[in-house]
């Protein structure tokens, strides 16, 4: 079971979300709270597998809670579920350590899939927000680009970086390249090590900055 903590200050929405998630065979909501402070207070006690946080809540809010949750557990898997399409909220959440950013107009299937993927160690972004994030990274001054290390990447690793810019999951990457998701995961680990990056989102941004939006030759 994937043990989830839900934090949202709208009671009706939170209760409905809890019922939806509890109806899934592999997900259990172990705590439902109405603030970032409450999420932090419960974190050490119950140690959820995934935190599902709203961005804008009274007090420290969801983004403020990310930092404290990461101090309690640096490996905390955090998914933001929000109505906010603000680039500032998105960038702050990702920089603080969120592993996903999903808008509240997502379907039940999209939400469940996002929780499962984040629990498995992947990162998930709403397509609109992913585009905003990549655009922002692409617009950074050239001086801020990572040190070029393209020569160290294998052709397969460059192919995976290219496909990451299209937001593909490990399963989709594997299908596209005719390899298993486990092999994809191994390649991603090597890519992050070689480029000194922390996540697939950073890897996708690196690929955009270095022209891998086009298939490698």
Domains delineated in the chain: 2-135 (3.40.50.2300), 142-209 (1.10.10.10)
Yes or no: say if 112 and 27 are a contact pair by the CB < 8 Å rule: yes
Yes or no: say if 35 and 82 are a contact pair by the CB < 8 Å rule: no
User: Could you tell me the CA-to-CA distances from 106 to 20, 30, 58, 207, 211 in Å, in that order?
Assistant: 13, 22, 23, 27, 31
Q: What is the mean pLDDT of the chain?
A: 84
> At residue 84, what are phi and psi to the nearest 5 degrees?
-75, 120
> At residue 141, what are phi and psi to the nearest 5 degrees?
-55, 145
Helix 170-177 vs helix 155-164: crossing angle, to nearest 10: 130
pLDDT in tens, 148-207: 667 788 889 988 988 887 777 788 888 889 999 889 999 999 999 988 888 887 888 888
Top mean-pLDDT range of 55-59, 124-128, 184-188: 184-188
3-class state of residue 57 by DSSP: coil
Of 138, 144, 146, 152, residue with least CA distance to 197: 146
pLDDT in tens, 71-114: 888 888 999 998 888 777 777 788 788 888 888 988 999 999 99
Structure tokens at 18: 């809890």
Distance CA 215, CA 22 (A): 41
pTM: 0.64
């Amino acid at each position: 079971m994937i043990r989830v903590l839900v934090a949202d200050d709208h009671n009706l929405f939170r209760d409905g979300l809890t019922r939806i998630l509890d109806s899934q065979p592999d997900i259990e909501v172990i705590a439902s709270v109405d603030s970032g402070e409450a999420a932090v207070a419960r974190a050490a006690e119950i140690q959820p597998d995934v935190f599902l946080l709203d961005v804008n809540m009274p007090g420290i809010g969801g983004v403020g809670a990310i930092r404290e949750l990461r101090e309690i557990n640096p490996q905390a898997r955090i998914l933001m579920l929000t109505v906010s399409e603000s680039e500032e909220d998105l960038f702050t959440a990702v920089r603080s350590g969120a592993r996903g950013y999903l808008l509240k107009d997502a379907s039940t299937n999209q939400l469940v899939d996002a929780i499962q993927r984040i629990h498995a160690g992947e990162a998930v972004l709403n397509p609109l927000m992913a585009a905003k994030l990549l655009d922002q990274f692409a617009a950074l001054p050239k001086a801020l680009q990572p040190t070029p290390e393209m020569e160290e990447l294998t052709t397969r690793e460059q192919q995976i970086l290219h496909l990451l810019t299209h937001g593909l999951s490990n399963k989709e990457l594997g299908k596209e390249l005719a390899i298993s998701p486990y092999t994809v995961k191994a390649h991603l680990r090597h890519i992050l090590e070689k480029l000194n990056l922390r996540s697939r989102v950073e890897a996708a941004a690196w690929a955009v900055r270095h022209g891998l939006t086009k298939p490698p030759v």
